Structure 1
Amino acid sequence: MSEELRRRLLSAREIKERRRIEQHLATAGLAAYFEEFVPPRWTVEERSRFYRSDTRASFSTPLTTPEELGHWIERIVTEQGMSAPLMAATNLENFPWIKLRHLEMGWGVTLMETLGKNLTLLSQGSGRLLVFFEEEYEYVAFVASTPAT
């Protein structure tokens, strides 16, 4: 398969997925939209650090129901002083970030249902990055802030 064909097939699949994400979030009351966004360099470096086995999680909780995980995510976001608008990574090559314009009660569960359990959230306003992912027996979260210049 040529690279050009691979790109076109990927683009077609991701356009469908983009529509699904937008529709699911809108149906759940989360105003969200895709926009071109290049994350700051420090966030890329921090994300790669979080996935190393020698990095300790900032937060962890035993694996539990999606509702409890969603509330746990919402609580950490609030405790970290993050608020809408938030950028959320989508894991799509062509549409890597979606902006959440406002957050309503239960948004954590909705986001996990839509984007999966491994979430990356960035608040440009507070300069905070949160990365959540599922480990073998627990769910972990890592937090980083904009480095001082």
Structure 2
Amino acid sequence: MNNIIIYFGTTLATFLLMECITWCTHKFVMHGFLWYLHEDHHQPKYQGIFEKNDAFFVIFAIPSITLFYFGINPSLNFLFFIGLGILFYGMAYFVVHDIIIHQRFDLFKNIKNPYIKTLRKAHKVHHKRLGKEEGECFGMLYVPVKYFKQYF
């Protein structure tokens, strides 16, 4: 029973920590030295189904896959659950960022939820800048309080 609690806590803590890691990675890597992969994501229209920015899904899956491998060899250990937290965050990122915010698929188009509307507003502010400098709102799930104040 204790292991289940520890493994669940490890997965949840990793999921939550991923928001901080995502913010830093987005600000300093995607808007930094890997801007050439992220730049097309800030253009007004997508050029087809995929964009260069989608390479980050593969790049960010590598740590999770690696942790799964070392988390089951030689036996199940906490590394597996860190990988699971990263995987769950990646799945949430895909749903929230690509489906709900950018509406790359015809799902969840008419959501009235205040949090989702505020999240979309903050992300629009992020995309207001077409260049890599002077951006804001680099996270995915965390929305600064000022956007909630604007909504309410």
TM tier relative to shorter chain: under 0.3
More helix as a share of residues:
2
From the CA coordinates, give the structure whose radius of gyration is larger: 2
More strand as a share of residues:
1
Query: What TM-score, normalized by structure 1, do the two folds share?
Result: 0.27
Query: What TM-score, normalized by structure 2, do the two folds share?
Result: 0.26
